[in-house]
Chains A and B, each alone.
Chain A
Amino acid sequence: MDIFLQQLINGLTLGSVYAIVALGYTMVYGIIQLINFAHGEVVMVGAMVALSVISALTGAQIGLPPVVIVLAGIACAIPACMAIGYGMERIAYRPLRKAPRLAPLITAIGISIILQHVALLVFSRNPLSFPQIMPNPVFEIAGAHISAVQIAIIGGSVVVMAGLTFLVYRTRLGIAMRATSENVQVAGLMGVNIDRVISSTFVIGAALAAIAGVMIGTYYGIAHYTMGAMLGLKAFSAAVLGGIGNLAGAMLGGVLLGVVEAMGAGYIGEFTDLCQAPWIAGLMTERCADGGNFVLFGSNYQDVFAFLVLIAVLIFRPSGLLGERVSDRA
């Protein structure tokens, strides 16, 4: 099996999900310069709601075709997340709009904790297995494997990103959103209801998060009330990598981060295998004999790479790959 191609496929899958979550971070930041740290939790809620609906419909045994059940799960997750996105802006962030920037940031962390614990109470403290009700055939291309779920995730995210691009660049709401992100006061002079545009931004980002939640739940096969935290941080890193506030940047950053992470996980074992270093292998002949290995860091260090990338970006290119402005506010 070709490790490179295989990890590329895995990375693109994961990166597609990061990209969709990163869009939520970057859109909100673009409009109100807030890093909505609770965004990852919205992804988790999306996964949880979809899981509950899918489990319930499957358990009811009313003979619905699996595709319909999955779509029903998504169809419930999206409005549930939209409601949470709307609610958190309305209740937590709007009253703080004129407050110092630290206040909404800390509030975001608070919302994140609240959502996690509400999910713990409503769902479970244990990881829930995502019902696999559809066959997931695996295809082989050039020695690497790609599953139907992976194809669906990559394809679905392309559709979602194309749809969002259309919305932002071709519709009245989208132009108003871009105008607002550049100059709130003048957008108001044009007749734009700023509150409504900000609400829409949160709601759209939350809808994307719901879709990402279903994707990641289906991909890993589990959902847990803490799953949003790490995913959210990585997607935030992806948004910073691409240039926070920049839509294309979030997409690029997400996909790149997914690939970097998969490549890192795929090769770290090989690169930190002490038996590959002749002078150490000489000291540990017993262990290294017959193709044995002594791996310092295994693929369980996968999570490290996203943050290495984040640190590198912050040091060498704080405005991100596609960001024009040097980020003086983040």
Chain B
Amino acid sequence: MALLEVRDLEVGYGGIAAVRGIGFEVAQGELVALIGANGAGKTTTLKALAGMLVASGGSVHFDGKSITRTPSHQLIRQGVALVPEGRGVFTRLTVEENLAMGAYIRDDRAGVRTDLERMFGLFPRLKERRAQVAGTLSGGEQQMLAIGRALMSRPRLLLLDEPSMGLAPLMVQKIFEVIQGVSKEGVTILLVEQNARLALEVASRGYVMESGEISLADSSAALLASPQVRQAYLGE
């Protein structure tokens, strides 16, 4: 059974359906991409998975248990962490306090300290700036912090919402190297991206979303080769 199973998920904003009965799954250890144009419903889907929006229909199962109506502050305790769109770092907290917030649910102080050093190893820039408030970081550094913060909860499933948004190409490359690294360590990842090529290059499989529905589902290689995807999302 897949780690994450989404069935007939429907999410709406005040009567307007943004996600219309989609289904997909992510297996343990997989890196799966969810791509699509602006407004296709990708972020809404992630928000529903993370418990920030309440689904109006369908079901979400994580590790065999229903998490359809689980509020976000309980979801992270089950191992689901979201790196929100626009990063959502706490700009008035220091880098270290942001990372501490990521480990808010954990009680093992020694383990948290080890993980903090691990994050600083993964992102040396953050170590240099550990005592600075996060608002003074560049966009790329904030994205690193947001990912580091999510990893501090030791998630089993990491949901990434547009990690490349608003970043310089060099920084995007760096962030995606980190994502691949995290994936290799065994963390299951669902990656939402507008940058379809980049997402499909790191993911093993992908889903294409269009107007609140999933229009295509295939391996990344097949999607990258598909004329439909090439024309609509790769700008060819």
Nearest CB in chain B to that of A181: its residue:
B92
Check if B73 sits within 8 Å of A188, measured CB to CB: yes
Asked if A304 is an interface residue, CB under 8 A from chain B, the answer is no
List A contacts of B172 (CB < 8 A): none
Check if A185 sits within 8 Å of B52, measured CB to CB: yes
Q: Mark A167-187, 1 if CB is under 8 A from B, else 0.
A: 000001001101100110111
Partner of A187, one of B71, B91, B101: B101
Please classify how large the interface on chain B is, using the bins under 10, 10 to 19, 20 to 34, 35 or more: 20 to 34
Check if B100 sits within 8 Å of A189, measured CB to CB: no
List A contacts of B74 (CB < 8 A): 191
Q: Which residues of A contact B (CB under 8 A)?
A: 172, 175-176, 178-179, 182-183, 185-194
With A172-B104, A175-B97, A175-B100 given, is the CB distance from A189 to B90 under 8 Å? no
With A178-B92, A179-B90 given, is the CB distance from A190 to B76 under 8 Å? yes
Binds A, one of B10-18, B23-31, B80-88, B203-211: B80-88
Check if B50 sits within 8 Å of A186, measured CB to CB: no
Q: How far is the CB of B192 from chain A (nearest CB, A)?
A: 15
Check if B71 sits within 8 Å of A191, measured CB to CB: no
Check if B101 sits within 8 Å of A188, measured CB to CB: no
Asked if B153 is an interface residue, CB under 8 A from chain A, the answer is yes
Check if A189 sits within 8 Å of B50, measured CB to CB: yes
Q: How far is the CB of B147 from chain A (nearest CB, A)?
A: 13
Asked if B163 is an interface residue, CB under 8 A from chain A, the answer is no
Q: How far is the CB of A43 from chain B (nearest CB, A)?
A: 29
Check if B101 sits within 8 Å of A190, measured CB to CB: yes
**Complex Cα gap A176–B93 (Å):** 10
Q: How far is the CB of A14 from chain B (nearest CB, A)?
A: 31
List A contacts of B73 (CB < 8 A): 188-194
Q: How far is the CB of B22 from chain A (nearest CB, A)?
A: 22
Interface positions of B from 114 to 149, Cβ below 8 Å from A: 149
With A185-B52, A186-B84 given, is the CB distance from A191 to B104 under 8 Å? yes
**Complex Cα gap A172–B104 (Å):** 8
Q: How far is the CB of B23 from chain A (nearest CB, A)?
A: 24
**Complex Cα gap A187–B97 (Å):** 12
List B contacts of A185 (CB < 8 A): 52, 72, 84, 88
With A188-B52, A189-B50, A191-B153 given, is the CB distance from A175 to B101 under 8 Å? yes
With A175-B97, A176-B104 given, is the CB distance from A186 to B153 under 8 Å? no
Check if A182 sits within 8 Å of B105, measured CB to CB: no
Q: How far is the CB of A198 from chain B (nearest CB, A)?
A: 13
Check if B104 sits within 8 Å of A182, measured CB to CB: no
Q: How far is the CB of B88 from chain A (nearest CB, A)?
A: 4
Q: Which of A186, A190, A194 has the most CB of B within 10 A?
A: A190
List B contacts of A187 (CB < 8 A): 90, 101
Given A178-B97, A187-B101, A190-B73, 18 other A-B contacts at CB below 8 A?
A172-B104, A175-B100, A176-B101, A178-B90, A182-B92, A183-B90, A185-B88, A186-B84, A188-B51, A188-B71, A188-B72, A189-B52, A189-B76, A189-B84, A189-B88, A190-B101, A191-B73, A192-B104
Nearest CB in chain B to that of A176: its residue:
B104
Q: How far is the CB of B148 from chain A (nearest CB, A)?
A: 13
Q: Which residues of B contact A (CB under 8 A)?
A: 50-52, 71-74, 76-77, 81-82, 84, 88, 90-93, 97, 100-102, 104-105, 149, 153
**Complex Cα gap A208–B16 (Å):** 46
Q: Which of B88, B91, B101 has the most CB of A within 10 A?
A: B101
Q: How far is the CB of B92 from chain A (nearest CB, A)?
A: 6
Q: Which of B50, B73, B74, B82 has the most CB of A within 10 A?
A: B73
Q: Which of B50, B104, B105 has the most CB of A within 10 A?
A: B104
Check if B91 sits within 8 Å of A182, measured CB to CB: yes
Name 15 interchain pairs, CB-CB below 8 A, sorted by A: A172-B100, A175-B100, A176-B101, A178-B90, A178-B93, A183-B88, A186-B84, A188-B73, A189-B50, A189-B72, A189-B73, A190-B104, A190-B149, A192-B101, A194-B73
**Complex Cα gap A188–B104 (Å):** 10
Check if A190 sits within 8 Å of B102, measured CB to CB: yes
List B contacts of A192 (CB < 8 A): 73, 101, 104
With A179-B93, A182-B90 given, is the CB distance from A189 to B82 under 8 Å? yes
List A contacts of B72 (CB < 8 A): 185, 188-189
List A contacts of B51 (CB < 8 A): 188
Check if A189 sits within 8 Å of B91, measured CB to CB: no
Q: How far is the CB of B135 from chain A (nearest CB, A)?
A: 10
**Complex Cα gap A188–B73 (Å):** 5
Q: How far is the CB of A32 from chain B (nearest CB, A)?
A: 17
Q: How far is the CB of A325 from chain B (nearest CB, A)?
A: 10
List A contacts of B93 (CB < 8 A): 175, 178-179, 182
**Complex Cα gap A296–B153 (Å):** 67
Nearest CB in chain B to that of A194: its residue:
B73
List A contacts of B52 (CB < 8 A): 185, 188-189
Nearest CB in chain A to that of B97: its residue:
A175
Q: Which of A186, A189, A191, A192 has the most CB of B within 10 A?
A: A189
